[in-house]
Structure 1
Amino acid sequence: MLTVYYDGKCGLCAREIAFFQKRKASNPIRWNDVARAPETLADSGLSQAEALMFMRVADNKGQIHGGVDAFILLWGQFRGWRLLARLLQLPLLHPLASRLYRLFAKLRFRAYPHCRLAAEQAGTTAQILAEKG
């Protein structure tokens, strides 16, 4: 079973997750909105701020993947999306997609007050913004 940690207060994030929740995955998926239910992070080793910065997915072994690698795992569970997941793993596309996603995620994180507040409460704003999800 995959566990997806996402920011349910982000309109774009919430729409994407809702899209996938309506589809049949090849394996069960647990959906954790870390903005509204930070307690779902208790066994993950992630802070709320870390989970808000980049989407995270825990695989069936409990290993946590972030950023583009999280999307690759998630998309790989859905028919019609597996090809995109495979393409993002290509040597030239993966680093480019990772850089673009990190840029987008950091801009999004700075724009949302609930993200900044979570980082300030944890005292990790600079660390979170420097992270390479």
Structure 2
Amino acid sequence: MSRHPAQPEVPCVLIYDGQCRLCVTAKAGIERLDRNTDHRSPVRFVPYQSEEAARYLGAEYRPGRPDMAFLVEADGQLRRGLDAFLPLLPGLRGGRLLLALMRVPLLKPLAYLGYRIIARNRYRWFGEIQPR
């Protein structure tokens, strides 16, 4: 995990693929779950296809479709892929259970493999949202 400058007013930023139907639906679901809890997660969502995402990611940014999601933490630490979502889980309903399951020796590698397979095939399986 590398360090990147984070903007001080935002505790963390989740950079997601704004053209992937699965990613946009997951973002909306996380926001909906977050609204239904007493504790608001300190996350702001930024689409990968934005200048803001390019600024946050710096040299990590590549034009085109991203291979994974990114989480830029308040201290500038950059998390990629499934690791971008793990810090968000405690604030979501059922998230603590999912984190506990990740401690089971065989489940964690399977979760990472599942993330990679879904990320690689997300456009084929779930479709694309055309930019406006």
TM-score (norm 1): 0.68
Q: Which runs of 5+ in 1 are unaligned?
A: 115-133
Partner of 2:107: 93
Instruction: Name whichever structure is richer in helix by fraction.
Output: 1
Partner of 1:74: 88
Q: What is the percentage of aligned positions where both structures have the same residue?
A: 31
Mapping 1:48-127, distance limit 5 Å:
48-49=62-63, 52-108=66-122
Secondary structure in 2 matching 1:30: strand
Q: Which runs of 5+ in 2 are unaligned?
A: 1-10
Question: Letter of the aligned partner of 1:13 in structure 2?
Answer: C
Secondary structure in 1 matching 2:71: strand
Higher relative contact order structure (alpha carbons within 8 Å, sequence separation ≥ 6): 2
Q: Distance in 2 between matches of 1:16 and 1:113?
A: 14
User: In terms of mean alpha carbon deviation, does 48-57 or 74-83 score higher?
Assistant: 48-57
* 1:85–1:38 CA distance, 2 compared to 1 (3 A): farther
Secondary structure in 2 matching 1:3: strand
Question: Letter of the aligned partner of 2:80 in structure 1?
Answer: G
Give CA-to-partner distance per residue, 1:70-100, whole Å, 9 cap, x none: 1212223323322213322433211111112
1:42 corresponds to 2:55: yes
